[in-house]
Copies of this chain bind each other. A is one copy, B any other.
Amino acid sequence: MAPDFATVFARLAPHMAALDVFLREQIAAFEPEIRTMADYCIDTSGKRIRPALVFLSGWQADGSVQPDLVRVAAVVELVHLATLVHDDIMDEAELRRGRRTASREYGPEAAVLLGDALFSHALHLAAHFPTTSVCRAVADSTRKVCAGEIIQTLRRHTASVTRSDYQRVIDLKTAELFRVSCALGSELARFPAGFVKAAAAYGRQLGIAYQIYDDLADFFGHERKIGKTLGTDLVSGKLTLPLLTLLDRLPQEKGAALLAEIRGEQSPQLGYWLKHMEELDVFGTVAEAIGAELKVGEDALWPWSELPPTALLRQLGDVLRAQVEALRCP
């Protein structure tokens, strides 16, 4: 049977508990007026995949909780939360993990500043490691995540997006933070440089695969289970892999109609395109693409099979595969 998040994350319980304590302490460091808002965001943070990558990449045989890893896990999670807060302003999304987004709860203006406060708190924590390497890595990743988001926003409602444009955006906006989580986790745990590189490569591939899964779930997900509004990519005019795959297979006239919706010239017909996606097996092709990305990451880990993190990191890929399958069979 395929592993699920609960099984893989069970062993991370003490690490996640330590992270939770640490994050709660950070909220106290915010100005009083901001605490409720910051607290609200941290509550909606979902599965904490990036912290899990930090902990698993730096996993010790005894499963001990390393304070440095807890701090780095908090840094990557805060950067991620900040991007979510700003991302939800762009997407005009209503729900995130079954709750109102910060933008809906506090207004888009306060959400801009809340994201800034989370960003700068993350960098503040990163700057308090003894050397500059963590701060450098995090600042550089944050730059790339922002670049990915900005390019995606500029391209909304444009019909000329290619697969390589799509790959570049998800590499920047999602895979980069997965990559740096693995790199910092394994580096701070003093694993050999070769493994740090392999873990980083695996993290990147898992991030790419995860984003493609997320884009697939935007069409094939179950609103209540995923806890967010479906079809937002079509509504906001984003050409993700499911849509690019569908476009390749549609006859010219229908393709032109879909592109008119992407450009915002026609109102989006989610159900109509979903039916075409099912007929043209878009799901199968995108699921294969996810598998191929994971395979590249798993190959990078191959030479390091004897280290404690390796088997655990691989399980995350298996969990993602199982999640994709769960979308296929409602």
Chain A positions within 8 Å of B, measured between CB atoms, are: 30-31, 33-34, 37, 86, 89-90, 108-110, 112-117, 119-121, 123-124, 126-132, 135-136, 138-140, 142-143, 145-147, 149-151, 153-154, 172
23 contacts between A and B (CB under 8 A): A33-B150, A33-B151, A34-B150, A89-B109, A90-B109, A90-B112, A112-B112, A114-B150, A115-B116, A116-B146, A116-B150, A117-B147, A117-B150, A119-B146, A120-B139, A120-B142, A120-B146, A126-B139, A127-B132, A127-B135, A129-B132, A131-B132, A132-B135
How many whole Å from A106's CB to the nearest CB in chain B? Answer: 9
How far is A306 from B85 in the complex, measured between Cα atoms in Å?
Answer: 50
Contact B139 A123 (CB under 8 A): yes
- The winner among A90, A109, A121 for most chain B CB atoms within 10 A is A109
How far is A154 from B120 in the complex, measured between Cα atoms in Å?
Answer: 19
Given contacts A116-B142, A116-B146, 4 further A-B contacts (CB under 8 A): A31-B172, A33-B151, A123-B123, A132-B132
Contact A154 B110 (CB under 8 A): yes
Contact A135 B123 (CB under 8 A): yes
Pick the residue among B86, B110, B132, B143 that contacts A112 (CB under 8 A): B86
Pick the residue among B116, B139, B147 that contacts A34 (CB under 8 A): B147
Contact A147 B31 (CB under 8 A): yes
How far is A150 from B116 in the complex, measured between Cα atoms in Å?
Answer: 9
Chain B residues near A112 (CB, 8 Å)?
Answer: 86, 89-90, 112, 115
Chain B residues near A150 (CB, 8 Å)?
Answer: 31, 33-34, 37, 110, 113-114, 116-117
How far is A131 from B136 in the complex, measured between Cα atoms in Å?
Answer: 11
How many whole Å from A119's CB to the nearest CB in chain B? Answer: 6
A149-B116 contact given A128-B132, A136-B124, A139-B123, CB 8 Å threshold: yes
How many whole Å from A298's CB to the nearest CB in chain B? Answer: 29
How far is A127 from B142 in the complex, measured between Cα atoms in Å?
Answer: 12
Pick the residue among B114, B127, B138, B153 that contacts A136 (CB under 8 A): B127
Contact A153 B119 (CB under 8 A): no
Residue of B nearest to A129 (CB): B132
Contact A153 B120 (CB under 8 A): no
How far is A122 from B33 in the complex, measured between Cα atoms in Å?
Answer: 26
Residue of B nearest to A90 (CB): B109
How many whole Å from A148's CB to the nearest CB in chain B? Answer: 8
How far is A124 from B79 in the complex, measured between Cα atoms in Å?
Answer: 14
How many whole Å from A22's CB to the nearest CB in chain B? Answer: 17
In the A-B complex, the 4 residue pairs with the closest CB atoms: A120-B142, A124-B139, A113-B150, A123-B139
Pick the residue among B90, B119, B130 that contacts A132 (CB under 8 A): B130
Contact A149 B113 (CB under 8 A): yes
Chain B residues near A153 (CB, 8 Å)?
Answer: 109-110, 113
How far is A110 from B113 in the complex, measured between Cα atoms in Å?
Answer: 15
